[in-house]
Amino acid sequence: MNFKTKKINANRNILHNNAGGIAVTWAISMMAVIFAVGATYDMSQITKAKQRAQMVADSMALTASIAVDTNNASRYKANKRYSYKELGEPKADFTRSIKAYVEYDIVDDKDSSNTGKPKTDKTRLLARATVEGTYKPAFMSAFGYEGIKFKASSDVAYASREGTPASIFFAVDNSGSMGWSDADGVQKLQGLETSLKSFMTTLEAINTTDNDVYRTALWPYSQDFYGRYRYISDDGIITNKTVAPKWGPLSNGEITRMNTAGGTDSSGALRAAASAFMTESALHKAKNKETEPLKFMVFMSDGANNPKQERVCATTRKWIPSQRAYWRKGKKKRYSRPRKARKWRYYPAVPGHYEDKKECNWEYTYSSDKTSVQACETMKAAGVVVYTIGYYLKAGNNDGHWVSQSEVDRARALLANCASSSEHYILAENASDLNETLKNIGEEIMKEVIRIKH
């Protein structure tokens, strides 16, 4: 074997040895990448599990805090481990491990306003819900991680009675445009109905068998341009779909019987709500001895109120020039006394003077906007918290219908002016946004009725 052959063989041996080292390095690198990807997935699932556990804890603690002093057989039993299914949660427990339990008479030492009060004082007591579970990793288990435990808890102050009474009224758009599609292609009325039903389900968590915790009412509105519908009032209330104030939630039937028709006029619905709120305190007092119930108004619109053609009159002061005396017979007119004056009619001189003249014209006005805002101001002055929702307020082509930017601007201005604050004015682009918006409003009302402390 010559020198050249030996050199070639040596190079081959080096390449062979290097290839083995590279393969090992590559395998280690790939294992690290797989572990990193798998760990990222598992960590996201753990975060998701913790979030779900917290949601369950908040819901369970709220329910547990209601009527804790009463002999309520259906309430959660202390320290009993309830399964996720027993809690009736809407989404699946993908960990298949969640258990939750409630402890009563937990003393609240975090609230400084209660320091110095006896530990048996109701203002110091809480219901504490604790949720526990174990997530079995999909990838990390291959590296020795058999299960990762997670936990969440929520403390809620006891209610002084079975829920603090409240009145929650709704004025919702049923105009023709509510039959159009939103940003996701869902018919807007369908999105509204689904969201309202979900809202009622949320409220039922604070209701009692006597239906004495809260009252609801519903005023759907539109506008009848041409007098086609006997059941639409002159100020837009759809009278045959209205639900007068009553104890308990709106039923599914009362919600789903709404339909779309005509234009938009929110003034009548808001005025009716403002008037109804004036008698709510007396009704709550008679039913449950509560003299100052909470009051909430939810006003939803998908567009501007339509202008109304009205006869507008104005009185102006005008100068009337002086007029010489004259005689008239038929079409003949003379300023000097004619012969046979008895056959002529005499008109005496009139000095120059001012007169009030009333002039009337047919004009398009935006009186519905003004009346709506006035009704909202009346409610806010009476302590009503007014939420307003603009549902898919979009200029341009809407399902083949043109909406001008000025209409959108006017709708937004009305909703903003009606809301109790900027935080109470919300825009929803699609049915999911609307559902989330009403869900959040429902939860805010729940927190007003029974306050989550920690």
Q: Is the distance from CB of 454 to CB of 154 less than 8 angstroms? A: yes
Lowest mean pLDDT among 102-106, 368-372, 390-394: 102-106
* Model pLDDT, residue 450: 54
Q: Is the distance from CB of 401 to CB of 177 less than 8 angstroms? A: yes
Residue scoring higher pLDDT (165 or 31) = 165
Residue 160: closest CA among 247, 63, 65:
65
* Model pLDDT, residue 171: 98
Dmax of the chain from CA atoms? 162
If one counts every other C-beta atom within 10 angstroms of the C-beta of residue 193, the result is 18
Average pLDDT for 194-198: 94
Q: Which residue segments constitute the domains of the chain, with CATH numbers given?
A: 34-157 (no CATH), 166-307+370-449 (3.40.50.410), 310-364 (no CATH)
Encode pLDDT of 315-345 as tens digits: 888 888 899 999 999 889 889 888 888 889 9
Encode pLDDT of 125-164 as tens digits: 788 889 999 988 877 666 667 788 899 998 887 754 444 6
SS (H, E, C) the chain: CCHHHHHHHHHHHHHHHHHHHHHHHHHHHHHHHHHHHHHHHHHHHHHHHHHHHHHHHHHHHHHHHCCCCCCCCCCCCECCCEECCCCCCCCCCCCCCCEEEEEEEEECCCCHHHCCCCCCCHHHEEEEEEEEEEECCCCHHHHCCCCEEEEEEEEEECCCCCCCCEEEEEEEECCHHHHCECCCCCEHHHHHHHHHHHHHHHHHHHCCCCCCCEEEEEEEECECCCCCCCCECCCCEEHHHCEEEEECCCCHHHHHCCCCCCECCCHHHHHHHHHHHCCHHHHHHHHHCCCCCEEEEEEEECCCCCCEEEEEEEEEEEEECCECCEEEECCEEECCCCCCHHHCEEECCECCEEEEEEEEEEEEECHHHHHHHHHHHHHHHCCCEEEEEEECCCCEEECCEEECHHHHHHHHHHHHHHCCCHHHEEEECCHHHHHHHHHHHHHHHHHHHCCECC
To the question of pTM greater than 0.85 for the whole model, the response is no
* Model pLDDT, residue 28: 61
Residue scoring higher pLDDT (20 or 347) = 347
* Model pLDDT, residue 2: 56
Structure tokens at 256: 């789903």
* Model pLDDT, residue 160: 46
Share of the chain above pLDDT 90, in %: 43
In whole angstroms, what is the distance from residue 241 CA to residue 217 CA? Answer: 11
Which of 217-221, 248-252, 307-311 reaches the highest mean pLDDT? 217-221
Residue 444: closest CA among 425, 430, 427, 424:
424
CA–CA distance from 79 to each of 120, 121, 237, 252, 296 (Å)? 20, 22, 51, 35, 36
User: Pairing between strand 166-173 and 308-320?
Assistant: unpaired
* Model pLDDT, residue 452: 44
For the cut 80, the answer to whether the pLDDT of residue 427 exceeds it is: yes
